[in-house]
Amino acid sequence: MFKVIFMNYVKDFKWKKGMKADEFVTGLSKVGFQSVLLGRASEIIRKMKRDGAKIYLTFTSNMATSGLRGFFAQLIDLGMADIIVTTVGGLEEDIMRASKERFAIGSFRADDVALHEKGMNRVGNILIREESYANFEDIMTRMLGKIYEKKKRLTTAEFFREIGLMLRDKDSILYQAARHNVPVFCPAVTDGALGFHLFMFQEKHPDFIIDSVRDFKDIVVFTSQDDRKGIICLGGGVSKHYAILSTLINGGMDYAVYMTTASASSGSMSGATTDEAKSWGKIKDDADAVTVIGDVTITFPLVMAKALEELKKEGCLRK
């Protein structure tokens, strides 16, 4: 006779006065559906840190455009990321924010024609002035000149480290990464405003090169077959694939947390689950892994709040 063994049972969620974030996530972890996976994701993140795994943090540019930008910087400072992979838009806006630019919160239902006429660009419900990009051009012109004086051929990780060393904002991703020797890889470095600035600068300085091939070599050799590896992957696209592909020849990831709004049925990289990655060997067959579906600006802070509380108690965070 087939016997079903239940590991857990549904437990009613109840609010209590003074409830802390980690208690909130613990309460959700037995509600059922996606809320169960929040607790699972938090536990896997704790495991990869306790295990001494090298942690890859990947995110799409829109997440750095949001207020998660300062949280990413804090996580680097706490020692929760050993390597960053992202796309160029978020790094541009990290530099803007570090240079005192401010982004407004608008509406998903905004009149986009009217916004364009007013010189405003919309990312979801976040608004960025065109003037901010004009100021960014001035900033990059100065920074590129200084970098060129030091070195004429760089990988993206070297390039963004140089920029990070010039910033003074502790809430900046690039500032914290540069000071903690966390490499920031940006495989799609020309896919944004910075691409135009690099193009124009190289027209005047043909010997200035961003070496993408050496970039890939550097990320491939960042870990070995013997290293324990974990990934926290927010969103998808090139930043997600670049990271998991880079560990393929070294056995794949031992731990993986994917958080996305995309559907697996699309066949896209953004919607691909941790299970699908196992078919490619990018995540190990026995990896501790979970895929959480939901808005990362909601799910990720909740998952990390619980993980950080536990890791702090255990003395696993950088002081």
pLDDT in tens, 186-242: 999 999 999 999 999 999 999 999 999 999 999 999 999 999 999 999 999 999 999
Q: What rounded mean pLDDT belongs to the chain? A: 94
From CA 20, how far away is CA 17, in angstroms rounded? 9
pLDDT digit string, tens, across residues 142-153? 999 999 999 999
Mean pLDDT of 312-318: 95
pLDDT score of 9 more than 90: no
Mean pLDDT of 79-96: 97
Identify which of 6-20, 21-35, 52-66 has the greatest average pLDDT.
52-66
Mean pLDDT of 85-100: 96
Task: Provide the β-strand partners of residue 210.
Answer: 154
- Tell me the three-class secondary structure of 39-92, residue by residue: HHHHHHHHHHHHCCCEEEEEECHHHHHCCHHHHHHHHHHCCCCCEEEECHHHHH
Q: Which CATH number fits domain 42-99+136-313: 3.40.50.300, 3.40.910.10, 2.60.260.20, 3.20.20.80?
A: 3.40.910.10
Residue 86, CB-side half-sphere exposure with 13 Å CA sphere: 30
Residue type, 15: W
Q: What was the pLDDT predicted at 34?
A: 86
Q: What was the pLDDT predicted at 38?
A: 93
From CA 85, how far away is CA 231, in angstroms rounded? 10
pLDDT digit string, tens, across residues 15-47? 999 988 888 888 888 898 888 999 999 999 999
Span of 3-17, 74-88, 161-175, 212-226 with lowest mean pLDDT:
3-17
Q: What was the pLDDT predicted at 4?
A: 57
Query: Could you confirm whether 47 is annotated as catalytic?
Result: no
Q: For residue 78, give both structure tokens.
A: 């706490």
From CA 314, how far away is CA 319, in angstroms rounded? 12
Which class for 99: exposed (0-12), middle (13-18), buried (19 or more C-beta within 10 A)?
middle
From CA 15, how far away is CA 300, in angstroms rounded? 21
Q: Which of 49, 282, 284, 306 is catalytic?
A: 282
